[in-house]
């Protein structure tokens, strides 16, 4: 009889350990999904950066509030905000370079994620022909001060950071 009681106790302890391992796994899975989403958004910024350097023309990553979508286009920085002079296509899929923020994912800061010198905040980022991120306002070249986007779902969050001088985009 005592041997079966010990067996039951060991079984309960093992179930407790396994249940404890499942809870962090669910949170970890959510974080992995967010990292994948941030990776897709990062590739969009990389496309804009590379196209600006390759073509020698400014390229814009803009956030559209109505559709909750980021898009990349060749921009006319002679006007505010930069005019769309043509869509940029993803090099692999050959589809327009866009990213729609999925339902359930919150983006912050919102609505203006990009902060520039002079206190200017905007929902878009321009990469100049050298790949440096700037505001693109006519007659000025306000550099990026902060380009951190936070993607949140439930209790998990991931940050996408655009380097102010380099234009390098990292997921943290």
Q: Are 38 and 62 in contact (CB under 8 A)?
A: no
pLDDT value of position 110: 66
Two tokens, residue 69: 């979508």
Q: Are 142 and 134 in contact (CB under 8 A)?
A: yes
What is the pTM (predicted TM-score) of this model? Answer: 0.78
pLDDT value of position 123: 87
pLDDT value of position 146: 82
Q: 1-23 pLDDT, tens per residue?
A: 555 766 666 566 566 665 555 55
Alpha carbons 60 and 81: distance in angstroms, whole number: 10
Q: What domains sit in the chain, N to C, each tagged with a CATH number?
A: 2-171 (3.55.40.10)
Q: 31-56 pLDDT, tens per residue?
A: 899 999 999 999 999 999 999 999 99
pLDDT value of position 8: 60
* Sign of the four-CA dihedral 101, 106, 111, 113: negative
Where the chain has pLDDT below 70, the residues are: 1-3, 5-27, 110-111, 137-141
Q: Are 44 and 73 in contact (CB under 8 A)?
A: no
pLDDT value of position 27: 62
pLDDT value of position 98: 95
Alpha carbons 138 and 82: distance in angstroms, whole number: 9
């Amino acid at each position: 009889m005592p041997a079966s009681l010990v067996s039951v106790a060991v079984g309960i302890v093992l179930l407790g350990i396994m249940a404890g391992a499942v809870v962090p796994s669910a949170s970890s899975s959510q974080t992995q999904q967010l990292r994948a989403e941030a990776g897709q958004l990062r590739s969009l910024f990389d496309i804009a950066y590379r196209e600006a350097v390759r073509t020698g023309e400014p390229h814009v990553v803009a956030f559209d509030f109505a559709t909750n979508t980021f898009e990349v286009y060749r921009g006319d920085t002679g006007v505010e905000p930069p005019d769309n002079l043509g869509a940029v296509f993803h090099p692999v899929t050959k589809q327009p370079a866009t990213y729609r923020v999925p339902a359930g994912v919150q983006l912050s800061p919102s609505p203006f994620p990009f902060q520039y010198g002079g206190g200017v905040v905007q929902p878009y980022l321009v990469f100049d022909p050298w790949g440096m991120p700037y505001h693109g306002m006519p007659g000025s070249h306000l550099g990026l001060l902060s380009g951190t986007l936070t993607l949140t779902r439930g209790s998990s969050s991931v940050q996408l950071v655009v380097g102010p001088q380099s234009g390098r985009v990292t997921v943290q």
